[in-house]
Structure 1
Amino acid sequence: MYLKPLFKTILNSKHNIQWVYYTSAKKFLYLAPTNKIFKKEFLTNIYKKEFWTEAIPSNNPGIELILTKLYDDAAGKGYLTTLSLPIMNNEKFMGVLSIDIGLKTLNSMMEKDDLVGSIYLVNQDNEILASNKEFEINSVLKRGNSTFELSIFDDTIKLVYIENIEEKIITILKTSIFQILLLIFILFIIYMLCYLLILNKKVENLANKDSLTSLLNRRAMRIESKKLLSIANRYNHFTSLLLLDIDFFKDVNDTYGHHIGDLTIKEIAKILSRNSRESDLISRYGGEEFLIMLSNSNKESAYTLAERIRKEISLISIENTDLKITVSIGCTEYKKKESLDSFIKRADLLLYKAKDQGRNQTVKA
């Protein structure tokens, strides 16, 4: 699992990080460093916890880093606070990456005899997370007349100093600057680890998607198609293929320019996405060629879909043009144990047959 190296790095950081885990939107939990399987009752309870409920997009539309209130860990790790970051893939919510930090870590950085005044680390609800003074768990900070604040992570966390004499503010900064910077550094490292995980997913997404339409590119389509055909062979599922090509597309570019050509391709991509299921695979397979692999669909249902798509494309209206866009489609059904190349070649021959017969039609076999 690609999360293991990241989780191992965080756990080995020696900053009293108690738990690192990934909670999936698909109802499973990966807890580092174990591969433990959790009971259904335990998972049901997990999805009610603050680290999940406050981080999910419905409660966190900005997809921001969330810091929970202090709580007593049920597994005996003491009082913890949790940093949670929603993980998105192509605007789809995948799950939540969470890191539990012990209260001892936060307090040990502030409980120094040479600190002057009162220092508090508070969350966005002004609840105290750590201090050089005694405090009750989840108590709210009451600010004094003289207050100095340092915002961390866009007000997710604040470092607050309270003192009545302005000169002592300078003293506290001088005597505790190392502890403050160390605390900020630890939080920054955790934030960067989460950011790198997201960046890795974005790079992976860019490598698999066509830049103009956001559909699967040719390379990604072949990889995912082989997986789908493997399932079809194993469970005897019907699988069908539609290969579409825009009629006279060169004339579109030559007459109206590549800008209109790109708009045409985008509009067709929208129609294909709108008429397909989540289980189907859609790709821009070539310049003006699209491929759709339909899971659990026989040739007849695939033909019905192809005709619906073809008719809808013929109604496309491109801005400032009188273009009439049509497509030719080859439609065929998978033969068990057939190779992907053979499957696509049969659809390609049917596509060219549709071209030879006058275009703007679907030919099935």
Structure 2
Amino acid sequence: MMVFLNNYFNDRLYKIIIRSLSLSILLFFLFLTVVSNKVVKEQYSQFYLFMSKVEEYKQNILLLGLLANKNIENYLLKNEKIELIVKNDNKFGVYSIVQNDKLTMDEIIIINMALEVFGYVPYFLQQRDSFLFYRSYSGSKYLTSRKINDLKVNESMFKYEYCNIHDSCTLFNSASDLEDRVVISNVYIDAIKNEEIITVSSPVFKNEEIIGDFNFDIYLREFSFLKNKKITEEVENVYKIINIKDSRYPFYDFALIREYYIDNRTMVKYKLPISRLILEHIFVLFLIYFLSLLVVWKLMLLSDKKNKLLKAELIINKDELTGIYNRSILNDNKFISIKRTKNMAILAIDGDKIKEINDTYGHDTGDEAIKCIANGMKATFRDDDFLIRTGGDEFLALLPGCSLKVAEELSNVLKENIKLNSFNKHGIKIEVSVGLSMFEINGNLKDSIKKADIMLYKDKNS
């Protein structure tokens, strides 16, 4: 007994846990679809805000490159001597391979143009998250927007081997790369501040040859959006892909993805981990699970009570010997509801010579005969018909929605089914008499049953 009870309670506990877990996971993901939408929108807006800043640098560097080209073209047309604009507050730096190397005419044009632009747009020089410089291939110099201590320029910084590491020199890019006049470098560590950067570059041409390029070094960690983010690179077909991932969360590659094309060959992907959305709201899952446990437990208690009530009703309404209904079914709500909405054919059924069987072979054989009649009724009528043992060898079959004609045909089938069914070692054949009547909606059921009884006795005496 104790083992049975233990297994019973363990099984119930297992069902409660599994059902609560299933329900809470379903509700949790429904919650995530609603609430996480706000988080996703916020993260995507920060991503696009960062990309708009990069786009701004790209447009500015492109503008500087185009202005420089225009100034150089004008100089070539006019062929006038140009002198360097000297200002007391000049903060730009000039760094060359050879110390105190003279500026080339192209470099003077670039510096004069830059000083004029910076005079109108001083914010170029005030950005904490970026560093502006011009790389002169013709003069092997770096011209910077502000002076940098200990910056040393050497010949390798203008060579293919150095530039190829970062992909940051327009001189060595193909014509297709320069179609939009902008090049985005790889992510690399800056030599000046020792921080992660990308460089946005735009070439400067003279007689269709690249003589230098303007560059914005963008310090990635200055952007709050990129803090705690992992930045990786890969190549996919013709595209260089810069991946921004939140590596603080597990399975961060299983993520919602947004893409942004910076130029004609560079794409940035932001991967928002799904695990982040889950872990940031995990307390809600536990809360939902706790509530689900209570709800499922209460529902199971209610279900148990309902099942017990149904079993009790079945015990009350069922005949113990035959398993079909007894007379109490006539007072059941289900039957009363059907009686109010449907006509019913009524068959009063009585076993023939059952008393003789009892007297001759004993009551056990008589009980078998009664079971035989009930089994014949089950084989003849529908599952939703009401088959009733009213007492002894007397039965009723109440057939909702059945016409009297069909009921008459069924009565003949019933007689044949019972007659063909022999039982017991004595090979006894059972026969029944049947009387029919019709119950109409809003009629009197007792009167209809009496009519069927009258017809039964006519059939028995025929």
TM-score between both structures, scaled by the size of structure 1: 0.45
TM-score between both structures, scaled by the size of structure 2: 0.36
**Largest Rg, 1 or 2:** 2
Structure with higher helix content: 2
